[in-house]
Copies of this chain bind each other. A is one copy, B any other.
Amino acid sequence: MLAKVNVASKLSLFNEHYSPKIIGEVNDLYVKVAKLQGEFTWHHHENEDELFYVVKGALRMKVRENGKENEFLIMPGEFIVIPCGMEHLPSADEETHIMLLEPKTTLNTGNVVNERTVSDLERI
């Protein structure tokens, strides 16, 4: 059944941090939303690029590129694409709402499996 999706409405359906939910799919990719607060876990994805689009708040993204650490602050209406293989650490000082685009094979913690790994994502 074809329907339009309101991103903010989907984000109003849950409160957990770092627990992405599926809200759509485009061929081999899922569209997800998540709420972030505090620091996540350094990780990378072997084969998957990952797009982070900020809806509300501010996403602080640390990356390790050619042995150097770098930081980007992504604001609402902005996105960053982390290419596969790149170590990254998402964090947010205040609660931040994002939309994610990534291949269906993507595990949220990438090469790391820990207590923050969510392998069976809910569709909302």
Contact = CB atoms under 8 A, between A and B. Distances in A.
Contacts of A22: none
Contacts of A14: none
Main SS of the interface on chain A?
strand
B28 A27 contact: yes
Contact of A28 (B3, B7, B28): B28
Interface of A: 2-8, 24-29, 31, 48-51, 55, 63, 65, 70, 72, 74-75, 77-84, 86, 101-103
A70 B2 contact: yes
Contact of A5 (B63, B78, B82): B78
Contacts of A31: 51, 79, 81, 101
